[in-house]
Structure formats: C-alpha cells, structure tokens
Chains A and B, each alone.
Chain A
C-alpha cells in the first residue's frame, strides 16, 4: 500500500501544450508517488496521451515544469526520459517485426551487447516478473499480447522506475489483461510506479491507487480509487450523466437475411484463415462474433463484404447467392459495412465531409447528372442535413476527414451507411478506440437499425460490447467458428475461455 505522505516520484506542474491553436493540455498538474499505480482517465482527445508524450520527451511543452524526485528536469527526447527511469509502452507498439525479441530490446541502448548474454538476462528478468518471452523469437510472429510483453520487458531491461502504459488492455484478451494487472501490482510492490492511460472506467477502478481525470485538456479531478465509483468517474470524464445500460429486447423467428454456408477464405499469406464457417443472421437480429484479434474475423468480414474472394462456400443475402460479388453490387443489394480500420478503409482521409458522405453513392442521379457530372449543391445540402442529424462535430463541411476525432469519423461512416437504408449491417470493431460518449452513440444507432428490421453482424474483440448488444454470440478461434449460442445461455467467462482455448469450458 502506498504511504500517502511520501514525496512524489514525479511531479508535473502547469503543463500546457497547444496544437494549431487547440489546447491539448491546459495547465495540468499531475503527480505520481513511488510504488503507486495511477490511472489517467479521460475520453479520446482529452489530452492523456499528449501529457504522457511530453513526459516521454516526444513533445516539448509550451509551458510548465517537470520534477523527478524533487529536482526540476528538462526532457527533450525519449533518451532523457529513459535516463531518468521513465519509460512508455505506446498504444501502437514501437517494435520492428522482422527483428528478434532480443534485437528489439537492445535497440538504441548504448554499449556493446553480446546477444547470447543479453538473451539470458532477458529470460531471467522476464521470468522474475512473470512475463515469460522467448528472446530469440521473431517479434512479428508473436501474438499481440506477447508483443506488449516485449515492450514491457524492454522498459524493465532499461531500468524503468516509472512505466507509462497507453491503453494497455485494448489489444488483450480477458485472461491476458488479468495477468497484466498482476504484473502492474508486482511492479508497484517493488516501489516502482505505473501510470495507466485508459478510457475504460472499470480498468481505472480495478488496477489503480489513484485516478486522475482529464477532460478537454484540463485535469478535472484526482481521487483515491477507494473513495470513488464508476458513476462519479464517468460524470467527471464526460461532464454529464450517461444513460445507464441499454435495454435490449429479444425477438426471434424472422426471415433470414444473411446466410453463410461452409465458407473458407484464404488470408494474407495464402493459408486458409477462415475454415468451413456456417451461420445465419435473421432480420432484426444482432449476431455478435467475438474473438482475439487475428483469428480470422477480419478475413471473414472481408469475404462477406466483397473485399476478398472466398476459396470455397456460399454467401447469400436475402436468399440471393452473392458469393464473390463486388462491393458495389453488394451495396446495391442492401449491404452496409462499417470496416475495421475506419481511417484507412472507412473513408478517404484527405476528402472533406461532403465527399466522404456521398462516397459510393456518387453515381446516383441525385448526386450526379447522368452519372457523370457531380451535382455539388445537392451534395452539400445532403451533407449539411446528415451532419446535423448525426451530430458530427467538425469545423465545417470542408474539413478534411482525417483531422476529425475517431468518434466523429465513426459517426460519419455510420451516417453514410445508414442513409442508404440497408438490409444488413456488417460492423467490424465499431467502437474500438472510441470514448464512452461515442460508444454510447454507436451502440444506440446499431440498436435503432436493428429495431427497424436490419440484420446486424457485429465483429468485436470487446466482450462487454458483444454481450450488451447481441442476440446470439459466436466465437472465432483459429479460423473456425464456435456457436452461435443464444446470449442468454452463455456468460463472459465462458466466451473468454473459448476465445483462448477454442473449446467450451
């Protein structure tokens, strides 16, 4: 337990940083004690990562001071931070996939390293923290959870006394998350400190000694974790009360919308990434597909949405065989798609809102004369209405989509897909990386479509999302589909077990 009178290991005072006129950090005071786990909670864009990247020397603050163990320090580069014992595990890993674990760990460290000795040291170090990794493995071949371990072991190897973890559980299974939290506690017991950047309330409550909440670049509060609860934190974070859990009425016995029979699809390297998968989604139903990232969900979604040609099997939409159809034909047949990578696949980043909102419908007569010449005024009016209806927040219609926040990009994509009045929605990780407010919005939109009789196929690695939305739940494991099971007959632990073992518990 943390002695509360201890002087802080780290203190940041009055940190201010602006990007192009927008204050990402506005006079933030923040401190961390030795042996403390401190959660840094806030919606996306609240300035959590910016604050930590200033601490890690990736950005220079416009104003403010940093003290480590009472002494004022200047941190100009990650090297300075590391010298002070501060290290960071980024949300997107900073690892070279073609390097061995060992090479990744010694990268950037001064002095000569005998790789065999280093490997031995890494093995010992990782075992003592319960984070076993094979130092000789090729990093890119390791599953995501393992890669995160490599990042953490690297920080320990460099002698980190304060470790910043940026959204560490976003890529982990429930079991991996639990083991990460055990590690975090053991690190704190050694007198080292951990900062966990997160937008998940449960995570902040579960793992930390104190929680600092940021909202729109300002720190709104710091609370000892035992004196607060989810309700208070979510109010601090969003600035208003959120609607409580969304009710879901179950409804069965409607006609089939999407039917997938014995579908096999080849993945990136030519091997079957999706093997003999069969299921059906009925109108007005949500089928949730859970699974650890990389178990064939993406490939399956691509095959259904026409982005990838299946090797074998059949896909039918409203009783019509659409196997191997191109996306444009599928869209016409009533399919809507919210893709996994919203910025890369979901929209064209350099296009403005108007262009992205009509993308895919640009040949329709309402937007183009004879399918050739764009009707710019009609496009704008349509965009204005849509932006208002879906509450997309942007500086203007001419704003490039790439500068919007993740939540607003997702609203834009949903808006575009919904305006087509689809019969089937295929949504892949629709809320990954979004903050609670945006998640609530996306969930309500999906449920609203479902109420209008749209069939929804939801792929998500977030189990609580799968459970709160789905009528039936299936699990992808090594390319095979387990289930679907009615959501009333399974629980989170059971599905979590299937996600990692491939069999029912």
Chain B
C-alpha cells in the first residue's frame, strides 16, 4: 500500500472522528451525572448551522465557533430544564427535541440561504503545523498538521480523564450518576451537578457541529450531522464511560468510516449504500461485544441511575 493511501486513510479517520470525539467527550459527562442526553444530536446540528451562519455573515471563523457553542448550550438548556427540573422522561424528551431541531434548522437555513443559486460557503479553519514534529514520516502529516481544534480535542481526552478520576468535582459527578441520593445525603447539589454536566455536553456537541462545517467542508447542508450525535452516544457506551476508551472507540469508528470511503474509491463491487452501512453495522457489533462485563460503572448499561430523574424531597 502506498504511503499516500495510508496517510490519506489516517487523515480521513481523524477528520471523521473529530466531531464524534467532541460529542462523546461531552456526552460522557452528562451520562456520568445520570442524564442520557439524547439531545446531543440536536445540539450538534444547531451548533453546525449557527456556526456556519455567523461565520458566513461576519466572515469570522472564531465568531462562528462561539455561535456554535452557544447554540449547542441553548438546546442542552431546554433538555436540562425539562429532564432535570420537570422530571420528564429523558429518552422521549431528547427524541422530541431532536426532531424539533431538525425542522427548525431546515427552516432557518431555507429562509436565510435557500434562494441562493450557489450555496453559500466559508473558508475552513487553517491547519496549524507543530514545529519540529510535523515532518516526521507518516505521523507528522497525520497528527501534527491539523486545525487547532483537533489538538484541543486530543488534549481534552487526558484532561477529561484527569477531571473524572483525580478531582473532587469528578468524584461528585461520577457519584451523581451512580446514586444521587447518596450525593444529596452528603450535602451536595445533585440538580446543579446534572445541569452543569448536560450544558457541558451541549457545549461540546456545539463545537463538534461547528467543526463539521467550519473545519472540513466550509458549507452547510440540511441535516448535515446525519446522526453523528447518536453515534457519539454509542461511542460513549462502547468506550465504557471512560475518556481514554472513548478515544479508542472513536478511532475505531473513524477508521471504519474512512475505510468505507476508500473502498468506494477503489471501486469495490459492492453497492455504495451497503458500504455506507458498514460503519454503523460495526458499531452495533461493537456494542454487542462491549456490554458484557462489569466495569467501573454500576451496571453493564452504564451508571446505575442513568435516565432516572432525581426528586428532592422524595427520599
């Protein structure tokens, strides 16, 4: 196999993996607090649209990124208010919010840009070369010639691990997902912890969505996320709610996605639709394998109180 092919494959893997990694690193915090934030998909999609619109109108990529973050948080805030304060069912609420956001983004985009003959587009985040390392054979171009956001995401992995396992706040967060009553009994604010976690997930999904448009293609298409938020949620399960394993799971998914692209390009005699299914099929298989065995979380299905609302005076 040629060097070009390998480098191309690895680069594609990182590109497809990045939005997923952002989403998954956010979602893991929400789930550790006991909230299954299905609205991650909505946060990501809203983040993608808003970042694109602001970047396009202001011609300022960083401003676009900020808008994407805000949009992600806004969706998460609705999710958090309904599920945490009003104790609604997390799965139903998340699902409905996602459908709502899909419709809303389609509407806004068609109003703003729908009439243009050529779809509007923006430039993408430039690659930043890491001095000294970017010339290493194979690894250099793949790992050290990327937009800043890619380095941020990679550094967030150990940062998240350190937060969860070596800080007090991390201990409290993990405890909240395992048993919020125990957390309340030692005098800590369960609801505030859950709010912070869900809003953080929204923020990260917003960045992931922004990266999807501003980091890769430079233009927006309706439903541009196409289920990537859900894949990020699956990656959290596959990664057993552990940031380091989540990095591995993201790499696995990114690789299958990149492989699928290459196979198509090589003209493999399989229908394209089948190849497109391949990454998702592998995720399903991976999930089947990964749910066996007890980890650091309370049940094979995740933190023990995942999806269970917490009511204060009902001890």
Contacts and interface: CB of A to CB of B under 8 A. Distances in A.
Interface of A: 53, 57-59, 77-82, 88, 90, 94-99, 103, 106-113
A107 B178 contact: no
A368 B298 CA distance: 43
Nearest to A76: B187
Among all A-B residue pairs, the 3 with the closest Cβ atoms = A79-B187, A108-B186, A78-B187
A110 B181 CA distance: 19
Nearest to A138: B296
Interface string B163-177: 000001001101100
A106 B171 contact: yes
A96 B297 CA distance: 10
Contact of A113 (B168, B174, B181): B168
Contacts of B185: 58, 78, 88, 90, 94
Interface string B294-315: 0011100000100000000101
Contact of B175 (A57, A77, A80, A99): A99
B188 interface: yes
A108 B188 contact: yes
Interface in B269-315: 296-298, 304, 313, 315
B184 A78 contact: yes
B187 A82 contact: yes
Interface string B144-184: 00000000000000000000000010011011001101111
Contact of B168 (A57, A96, A112): A112
A113 B168 CA distance: 8
22 contacts: A58-B184, A58-B185, A77-B187, A78-B184, A78-B185, A78-B186, A79-B186, A79-B188, A80-B187, A82-B187, A88-B185, A94-B186, A96-B175, A96-B179, A98-B178, A98-B298, A106-B171, A108-B183, A108-B186, A108-B187, A110-B168, A112-B168
Interface in B26-52: none
B172 A108 contact: yes
Given A79-B187, A94-B185, A107-B186, A99 B178 contact: yes
A112 B166 CA distance: 10
Contacts of B181: 94
A95 B182 contact: yes
B216 to A, nearest CB: 38
B22 to A, nearest CB: 27
A384 to B, nearest CB: 31
Contacts of B183: 107-108
A77 B174 CA distance: 21
Contacts of A103: 171
A98 B296 contact: yes
A103 B182 CA distance: 13
Interface of B: 168, 171-172, 174-175, 178-179, 181-188, 296-298, 304, 313, 315
B172 A98 contact: no
Contact of A107 (B175, B296, B313): B175
B172 A107 contact: yes
B300 to A, nearest CB: 11
Contacts of B178: 96-99
Given A81-B187, A95-B179, 7 more contacts: A88-B185, A90-B185, A94-B185, A97-B178, A98-B298, A107-B175, A110-B168
Q: Which interface residue of B179, B186, B296, B298 has the most chain A CB atoms within 10 A?
A: B186
A58 B171 contact: no
B306 to A, nearest CB: 13
A111 B183 CA distance: 17
Nearest to A111: B168
Contacts of A77: 187
A88 B181 CA distance: 14
A50 to B, nearest CB: 10
B187 A97 contact: no
B297 A98 contact: yes
Contacts of B179: 94-96
A81 B172 CA distance: 19
A451 B178 CA distance: 48
Nearest to B185: A94
A148 to B, nearest CB: 14
A97 B315 CA distance: 19
Nearest to B181: A94
A88 B185 CA distance: 9
A96 B313 contact: no
A130 to B, nearest CB: 24
B187 A107 contact: no
A424 B185 CA distance: 43
A98 B181 CA distance: 15
B89 to A, nearest CB: 16
Contacts of B172: 107-108
Given A53-B315, A103-B171, A96 B182 contact: yes
Given A94-B182, A99-B178, A59 B313 contact: yes
Contacts of B304: 97-98
Contacts of B186: 78-79, 82, 94, 107-109
Nearest to A90: B185
A80 B297 CA distance: 30
A95 B304 CA distance: 12
Nearest to A79: B187
Nearest to A92: B181
A98 B304 CA distance: 10
Contacts of A95: 179, 182
A177 B197 CA distance: 41
A103 B298 CA distance: 15
Nearest to B299: A98
Q: Which interface residue of B172, B182, B313 has the most chain A CB atoms within 10 A?
A: B182
B29 to A, nearest CB: 17
B292 to A, nearest CB: 11
Contacts of A58: 184-185, 313, 315
A203 to B, nearest CB: 23
Contacts of B313: 58-59
A112 B186 CA distance: 16
Contacts of A96: 174-175, 178-179, 182, 298
A57 B187 contact: yes
B298 A107 contact: no
Contacts of B187: 57, 77-82, 108
Contacts of B174: 96, 99
A168 to B, nearest CB: 16
B187 to A, nearest CB: 3
A94 B190 CA distance: 14
B310 to A, nearest CB: 14
Nearest to A113: B168
A80 B188 CA distance: 11
A57 B312 CA distance: 12
Contacts of A113: 168
B295 to A, nearest CB: 8
A270 to B, nearest CB: 11
A59 to B, nearest CB: 7
B112 to A, nearest CB: 48
B169 to A, nearest CB: 11
A95 B175 CA distance: 9
Contacts of A79: 186-188
Given A78-B186, A79-B187, A107 B315 contact: no
A52 to B, nearest CB: 12
A80 B187 CA distance: 8
A58 B296 CA distance: 29
